[in-house]
Chain A
Amino acid sequence: MKKNTENLFKGLIFISPWIIGFAVFQLYPIYKSVYYSFCQYDVLNPPVFIGLQNYTNLFRDEIFLKSIIRTGIYTFMAIPLSMIVSLFFAILLNQKIFGRGIFRTIYFLPSLVPMVALAILWKWMFNGEHGILNYFLSLLGIQGPNWLGSTMWATPSIVLTGLWGVGGSIVIYLAALQDVPRSLYEAAEIDGAGWFSKARHITIPMISPVIYFNLILGIIGCLQVFAVPYIMTAGGPARSTYYYTMYLFDNAFSFLKMGYAGAMAVLLFIIILAITFIVTKMTAKRVYYAEK
């Protein structure tokens, strides 16, 4: 009995940095976000309780509602595209081919580029007048759009920019692919399975936990997208790339509406939890966990 208490004490001492950090830098701010969301608070004056008014205002706020739709559209474009591209290249890079190491390095490198450098570089390449992309298009006889200056093309441009950094997911998929037993493919080949049916019936099910993991993290990341659009378009043109976190940021730090930002923060958290829950339920039957 004494040993148990002693161990509990020891354990808590060791994890105390986490306990303190969790309390100060996570739990307390979450509590404050919830608290501010029921207040009018401009940082300079003490918070005044106003009940649910921030929330009712949010649902009448056209900028807010549109920012949700825009963020949703961005997520729906970015997630399937990055998933297909990263899985596709991971499967190719998993084969025994000449120069595999070099290929892997090349595909991985862009994911190391800091967000700011990435955004500025693509802003330059997407430049409507002098950008290299429109020059390439002109070689094909296509008059390229003014990508970031067009309400229609700004979001796809940002999606494409993000796609350049899929190298991290490729590496995660590669690690998962290497764990798929060769014997499964050999058995399938004997049964006359082709490339596509092997991918569909062996590869995808065997790495489904990793796909699920990447999907959840990808969605959570997309819902918080900030740095790239902030740098590339500052939310424009005509707010076409003004996503959820950007409006949250502006409410908190440009308009000093901490209560309103708090309500947005609470809703963002609820949205993320709900989507995680729904995706988990929807994929539960399709994710295959091998017995260990």
Chain B
Amino acid sequence: MQRNNPTPVSHKKQKAASSAAVHIILIVGAIAFLFPLVWMLSTALKPLPETTRIPPTLIPSKFMWSNYKEATTAIPFWQYAKNTLIVCSLSVLGTLISSTLVAYGFARIQWKGRDAVFYLVLATMMIPFPVIMAPLFVVFGKLGWIGTLKPLWVPSFAAAAFNIFLMRQFFRTIPAELTEAAKIDGCSELGILVRVVLPLSKPVLLVVALFQFIASWNDFLGPLVYLTRQETYTLALGLQFFQSQHGGTYWNYLMAASSLIVLPIIIIYFFAQKAFIEGISLTGLKG
């Protein structure tokens, strides 16, 4: 033990030095990660001439809150917002209904061939959207859906593999005694799902709803392919349309509009931080 005496001291010094180094790296990294968001807000609030001034200013000389008004009237922003919210809410609804049903069928009912079919479900995650987008366009065209919002939300009523996976994992952790008791009381499977399983599954329902909302909110390629009329544009598509028309000049309006698209997601994140991180962590677990 004697010879170990000097080590704790040098060990402590070493620890402190390495902790300081870690902090410095993390602070530099954090500045790099945060700066673009700051720059977005800074540009959004500048008068147009100031956006191209050299040296650039971080704090606008004058806070042009009117930029937000200009940006939301230069394009039918609130119309796009409404379309986006329609797609998001119907998609969330469809996802919740379909994936709870399907996940229940995989998690709580024993049937022949179940596991094989479940592997097929997982395998469908490998199908890239670009592979099917063109024939889907033809299918939606025949249904008369092109130019409407339907191609963006109807498919969510047919559960997506990833959500099925998340919910199934969760449903499997619910003790069998609870559902058996309900069964003895004469509850049907649907009754068990609604009365026993769902009330216990709020965390996973929240995760799936959040992910679906964000996926629909952020989706760009889907709207680009299926929304042919400008009145039906979502915010993502509308912003790109605005950019392709006025890009390269009105950076302050573009940044104002961009920040308005980012803001709701960040607000949702701060309210549901825990669900977010848990959900994303779960995505890695199936590796």
Q: Is the CB of B34 within 8 A of A109?
A: yes
Contacts of B141 in A (CB 8 A): 43
Contact of A13 with B by CB under 8 A? yes
* Choice from A11, A12, A108, A164 contacting B36 with Cβ under 8 Å: A164
Given A32-B138, A98-B23, A20–B158 Cβ distance below 8 Å? yes
Interface size on B, residues (CB 8 A): 90
Give the CA-CA distance A20 to B228 in the complex, in Å: 26
Contact with A along B259-272 (1 / 0, CB 8 A): 10110011001000
Give the CA-CA distance A26 to B236 in the complex, in Å: 25
Give the CA-CA distance A103 to B98 in the complex, in Å: 37
Closest chain B residue to A215, Cβ basis? B287
Give the CA-CA distance A175 to B285 in the complex, in Å: 9
Q: At the interface with chain A, which of B62-70, B111-119, B177-185, B199-207?
A: B111-119
Contact of B254 with A by CB under 8 A? yes
Contact of A38 with B by CB under 8 A? no
Q: Is the CB of A121 within 8 A of B111?
A: no
Q: How many A-B residue pairs have CB under 8 A?
A: 262
Apart from the given pairs A14-B189, A25-B132, 16 other A-B contacts in the complex at a CB distance below 8 Å: A12-B105, A22-B121, A33-B134, A97-B26, A112-B265, A116-B237, A117-B259, A125-B39, A132-B56, A135-B54, A174-B281, A213-B286, A226-B220, A253-B137, A258-B134, A269-B131
Q: Jot down 25 A-B pairs with beta carbons below 8 A, ordered by A.
A: A7-B109, A17-B102, A18-B158, A21-B159, A22-B158, A32-B138, A92-B26, A93-B26, A97-B22, A97-B23, A105-B273, A106-B33, A115-B236, A116-B240, A117-B239, A120-B255, A121-B36, A124-B39, A132-B39, A164-B33, A171-B277, A171-B281, A175-B280, A249-B133, A258-B134
Query: A: which residues have CB within 8 A of B?
Result: 4, 7-8, 10-18, 20-22, 24-26, 28-30, 32-33, 36, 43, 89, 92-93, 95, 97-98, 103, 105-110, 112-117, 120-125, 129-130, 132, 135, 164, 167-168, 171-176, 195, 209-214, 220, 223-224, 226-227, 230-231, 245, 248-249, 252-253, 258, 261-262, 265-266, 268-269, 272-273, 276
